[in-house]
Amino acid sequence: MMEFFSKHGQELLIKTWEHLTISGIAILLGVLVAVPLGILFTRIPKLADRLISLVGILQTIPSLAILAFFIPLMGVGKFPAIIALFVYSLLPILRNTYTGVKNVDQNVLEAGKGMGMNQWESIVKIELPLALPVIMAGIRLSTVYLIGWASLAAFIGGGGLGDFIFDGMNLYQPELIVAGTVPATILALLANGLLSVIEKKLTPKGWKETYQTL
* pLDDT tens profile 67-79: 777 778 888 888 9
- For residue 214, the model assigns a pLDDT of 39
Average pLDDT over residues 49-70: 79
pLDDT at 208 over 70: no
149/147 Cα distance (integer angstroms): 6
Mean pLDDT of the chain, nearest integer? 84
CATH class of the domain defined by 2-210: mainly alpha
- For residue 4, the model assigns a pLDDT of 64
Q: What would the pLDDT profile of 26-36 be if each residue is shown by its tens digit? A: 999 999 999 99
- For residue 94, the model assigns a pLDDT of 92
pLDDT at 63 over 80: no
- For residue 159, the model assigns a pLDDT of 85
Q: What would the pLDDT profile of 144-180 be if each residue is shown by its tens digit? A: 989 988 888 888 888 888 888 888 888 888 888 888 8
pLDDT band at 2 (very low <50, low <70, confident <90, very high): low
Who wins on pLDDT, 6 or 30?
A: 30
Give the residue extent of every domain in the chain: 2-210
- For residue 213, the model assigns a pLDDT of 41
DSSP 98-132: HHHHHTS-HHHHHHHHHTT--HHHHIIIIIHHHHH
Q: Comparing C-alpha atoms, which of 78, 76, 77, 93 is closest to residue 29?
A: 93
130/124 Cα distance (integer angstroms): 10
